[in-house]
Amino acid sequence: MSTEPDGGGIKVSFANSGAPIAAVDLPLIFERFYRADPSRSREAGGAGLGLAIVKQLIEAHGGRVGAESDTEETRIWFWLPGKDRDE
């Protein structure tokens, strides 16, 4: 995990060195019930809700989420805006 100041907010990234996520699947991983691996079922691999919940929570606070994946690692990140200094 890493954190860094970024454009008036903070960016938090998580990395995993497991199998890469295909480029065609990356835009969909934050959708409810989506599973990139078609062999996974609810019984063997969750309901496919975790990243969708993360996206909703982050966006409700004015932030953004994203993911990148290559042969080295997969990175999931989120960005949250900083608090206004005038408050």
**What average pLDDT does this structure show over 36-50?**
62
pLDDT at 85 over 90: no
**What average pLDDT does this structure show over 23-50?**
72
State pTM to two decimals.
Answer: 0.76
**Residue 10 confidence (pLDDT):** 95
pLDDT at 43 over 60: no
**Domain encompassing residue 11:** 2-76
pLDDT at 71 over 60: yes
- Looking at the structure of the chain, the number of domains it has is 1
Burial of residue 45 (CB within 10 Å: 0-12, 13-18, 19+) is exposed
Asked whether residue 86 is domain-assigned, the answer is no
Asked whether residue 54 is domain-assigned, the answer is yes
Asked whether residue 71 is domain-assigned, the answer is yes
